[in-house]
Structure 1
Amino acid sequence: MVNLQLQGDSLNLIKTKSILSAFLARVKLMKQNIGRGEFSHFPNLSQTSCQEDDVSTYVPHLNALYSDFESGFEDILTMVIPPWIISPYGDIEETNVIIQEELTELNTNEELMVQFKNGYQQFWLQNNVPVTYSVLWNIARKFLISFPSSYLVETGFSAVTNILTKKRNRLHIISRGDLRLTLTKLTPNFDNLLLKHQVHPSH
């Protein structure tokens, strides 16, 4: 479940921290429930009669899982996310004077406020935000642009495998742009491309 949630090109550090924190909370709850003989999280176990020896085996496994995740993702789990990134139009206390000024200006920008309904990520990734609110953007972009998963790398390797077969192993997929075209989700403007490459009749 967590593995699937950590895939996709819309993932950012904020979402990743939320997913990992929720998973650790579930593991902690499972551990507590198993310790008192409650197996609702494990349908197969709930249909069998478990002995105390079995329970004493399961709990250490959950403890190890919790510890592994907690130490493996310590940098993300302990990351401090400024609350104004997720909710820029809320009542937020900020000690930095420059950030205060830009947040005040942002809160009075009604045009941008309309765009916030599409979510905080789309809000901050608008073209005019980095220019108008450069201080806020320089902080927010670190959480939004950084990609915390290997999903895109794996997607790239899969694309290379599909493009380069035994019969096409000499294609220059990077210099020609083949790989970039495979990975992008942008839709080409074919009409515009055709206009630029129309054959001009000789005079």
Structure 2
Amino acid sequence: MCLIKAKGIIMAFISKLDFYKSCLLRLDLNQFPSLKALKENQTDDSCLSDTDLDCYSSHLQALKEDMTIRFKDLKELKIPEWVVNPFQADATNADPNLVEELIDLQNDIEGKVLFQQIGYEAFWPKEQDKYPHLWKKIKLLLLAFPSSYLVEKGFSVVLQLLTKQRNRLQICKRGDLRLCLSNIEPDIIKLASSHQAQGSH
């Protein structure tokens, strides 16, 4: 996922937290299926007290504040209109160093067809040689958004070591924890051949 998509998804989630909080305070529980089921299955109205609602509401507020702090740099990231929609953007409002290339691009009929077929994420890398100044500005925005994938994978591996399966693990076949988190395949034969066998005394 590139930074452009990540910004849209994360900012939408942060905005939804205000909506969820207002729904909760109005007792509109459609966004909270577990709470809705709890309320429908309880005969008295005390299952959701004001204290509970205040607690849930404060959790949503804390989550919003935390997300806003964590993704402050992503929120402040400025994405020019021509990056996502170069054929509809006003070229005269672009950076003066980019105007000529942007005008060339907007009059590139083949480029327009290609853009409509594959979208901006695949379009820009294909056209980087044709429009080097535009590419220089956009390539950082198309970087993959860092994820917690390796951290989650590491927790899964450690969790597996801490379960009852631990006694049945074949450590020599499973490999080192560091190797489980890497795509590098060790060359055991080469490593073993580079060491001299212990001589007898």
TM-score (structure 1 length as normaliser): 0.68
Task: Check whether the contact 2:81–2:89 (CA below 8 A) recurs between aligned residues.
Answer: no
Task: Give the aligned partner of residue 123 of structure 2.
Answer: 123
| Structure with greater helix percent | 2
TM superposition shift of 1:105: 0.3
AA matched with 1:76? L
Task: Give the aligned partner of residue 166 of structure 1.
Answer: 172
Q: What is the distance in 1 between the residues matched to 2:98 and 2:114?
A: 21
Unaligned runs of 5+ in 1: 1-10, 159-164, 182-203
Candidates 69, 72, 90, aligned match of 2:70: 72
3-state SS, counterpart of residue 9 of structure 2: helix
Q: 1:156 to 1:114 in 2, by over 3 A?
A: farther
Greater than 6 Å deviation, 4+ residue runs: 155-158
Task: Give the aligned partner of residue 141 of structure 1.
Answer: 139
TM superposition shift of 1:167: 4.3
3-state SS, counterpart of residue 125 of structure 1: helix
Q: What is the distance in 1 between the residues matched to 2:140 and 2:68?
A: 22
Task: Give the aligned partner of residue 4 of structure 2.
Answer: 14
Q: 1:156 to 1:84 in 2, by over 3 A?
A: farther
Give me the CA root mean square deviation: 2.8
Task: Check whether the contact 1:16–1:148 (CA below 8 A) recurs between aligned residues.
Answer: no
TM-score (structure 2 length as normaliser): 0.69
What do residues 11-44 of structure 1 show as CA deviations (whole Å, max 9, x unaligned)? 1100110110111122110011112222111112
Unaligned runs of 5+ in 2: 40-44, 156-170, 186-201
Q: What is the distance in 2 between the residues matched to 1:66 and 1:134?
A: 39
Q: 1:155 to 1:12 in 2, by over 3 A?
A: farther
* Rg larger for: 2
What do residues 75-109 of structure 1 show as CA deviations (whole Å, max 9, x unaligned)? 11221111111001013252422211110000011
Q: What is the distance in 2 between the residues matched to 1:46 and 1:179?
A: 45
Task: Give the aligned partner of residue 103 of structure 1.
Answer: 102
